[in-house]
Copies of this chain bind each other. A is one copy, B any other.
Amino acid sequence: MGKQPKIPKATIKRLSLYYRRLELLEFDGYRMVSSEKMAWLCQVNPAQVRKDLGYFGEFGVRGVGYDVRELMDQVKRILAVNRTWNMGLVGIGHLGTALVNHQNFPARGFTFVAAFDSDPQKIGRPLGSKLRIRDSRELEEVAREKDIRIGVIATPRAEAQPVADRLSTAGIHAILNFSRNRISVPEGCVVENIDFTIRLDILTYRLKEALGM
């Protein structure tokens, strides 16, 4: 019944992985799953699965395993994805457009409710099937009005920090940052960075090593 004893960040990432696997298991009609099976499916150690879950409670039945449906519910609750999240997108380039049209977000309860750009050429244009691009200057107002809880930054690098500041000001405490700049945010605001180029750098490094270069 562990509660707050310092949870590894990697545990959260794996929880997300477990969740996805549980969806597939449920879809395939499985009712129960053992830590060993989950571990095998997710390519981790069985003790790791049990330890990860153990940080948050006792969800299993000894001698039997975990109830797929119930474990899903628990993991959803832990990750706070047992609800919908309104997102606001800032920066409507190719990437921003792709994000708005991304199928998986709404399927998982992540919904874009507004999109912003500072380019007068773009403002007012429709985006995807439900949105219209709005002026970045309206961000604070719209954030309140639409109850935006997550800000997604897909701007050029120079605009990332100013946008992050505006998002904070607008009372948004969670930012998904696709720009190449790390951003600074006030205490209490959380940021996740997704940086394609870093991943490519890691990839080429590893390829070089794998080839013994």
Question: Do the beta carbons of A200 and B12 come within 8 Å of each other?
Answer: no
Residue from B16, B190, B213 within 8 A of A201 (CB atoms): B16
Decide if A173 is an interface residue (CB 8 Å cutoff). yes
Residue from B15, B173, B180 within 8 A of A104 (CB atoms): B180
Q: A70 → chain B, closest Cβ, in Å? A: 19
Number of interface residues of A (CB under 8 A): 56
Decide if A205 is an interface residue (CB 8 Å cutoff). yes
Question: Do the beta carbons of A211 and B173 come within 8 Å of each other?
Answer: yes
Residues of B within 8 A of A196 (CB): 99, 102, 104-105, 176, 194
Question: Do the beta carbons of B201 and A176 come within 8 Å of each other?
Answer: no
Residues of B within 8 A of A12 (CB): 201-202, 205-206
Known contacts A20-B180, A208-B80; is A197 also within 8 Å of B105 by CB? yes
Q: Which residues of A contact B (CB under 8 A)?
A: 9, 12-13, 15-17, 19-20, 42-43, 78-81, 85, 93-95, 97-99, 101-102, 104-105, 108, 110, 149-150, 173-176, 180, 182, 188-190, 192, 194, 196-208, 210-211, 213
